[in-house]
Chain A
Amino acid sequence: MHIETSVIFCVIGCILALLLKQYQKVQGILLSIGICVIVMMTALPEIQRIFDTAQNIYAQSHLDGAYFGILCKAIGICYLTQLGTDICKDSGENAIGTAVELCGRILLVLLSLPLFLTLAETVLEMMT
C-alpha cells in the first residue's frame, strides 16, 4: 500500500462521485461506497501487521490473552460501524446512520461486559 496511490485514487473517485451526484444521486453514493471498500481493502492487511506486533508486546506483559482479543474485536466493530454510519449520513439518511451507530455502541458494551465484571470482582476483592 502506498499513500500517494490511495490519495490519488480517492481524489479521482471524489470527482467522479461529484459528477454522478448531479444527475443520479444513487449512482454517486454507490460509487463512494465502492471507493471506500476498495481503499479499506488495501489498508486492512497492514492493520494485521500492527496487530501482530501489538500481540507480541502484549504477550510479554503476562496479562490474560483474552483481553487482547476483545480489544481487536472492539476495534473491528468500531471500524465497520463508522463506515456504515458515514455512508448513511453521506446519503442524507441521518436517522439510519444514528441507528447503525447505536447498534455498534450496544455491541461494544456487550463485548466489554466481561471486562467490567472482572474489574468489579477485583475491586470487591480488594475491599473485603
Chain B
Amino acid sequence: MDIDLVFKIAGTGIIVSVLSLVLKKADREEQAMMTTLAGLIVVLMLMIDQISALFETVKAVFGL
C-alpha cells in the first residue's frame, strides 16, 4: 500500500500549518492565506491521479 503518499500529504499539511501560524503571528495574513492555498493545491495535485485511478478501477470492476 502506498503509505508514502499519506506521509507526503500529512507532511505538506504540517509544514503549511506551521508556516501559516508563523506568518499570522508576524501579521502577514495575506501571505498566510496564500501559503494555505498553495499547500491545498499541492496536495490536490498529489491526489488527483489517485482519485482518477480509483474512479477508473470502479468503472472497470462494476462495469459502469
Contacts and interface: CB of A to CB of B under 8 A. Distances in A.
Interface residues of A, number: 38
Nearest to B12: A27
Interface string A17-58: 101100110111011011101111110110110010000000
Contacts of B51: 33, 37
B10 A16 contact: yes
Contacts of B18: 23
Contacts, number: 106
Q: From DSSP, what is the main secondary structure of chain B's interface residues?
A: helix
Contacts of A33: 47, 51
Interface stretch (A73-81, A96-104, A114-122): A73-81
A39 B6 CA distance: 11
Interface of B: 1-3, 5-7, 9-10, 12-14, 16-18, 20-21, 36, 39-40, 43-44, 46-47, 50-51, 53-55, 57-59, 61-64
CB-CB nearest 5 A-B residue pairs: A76-B62, A27-B13, A23-B17, A16-B10, A20-B13
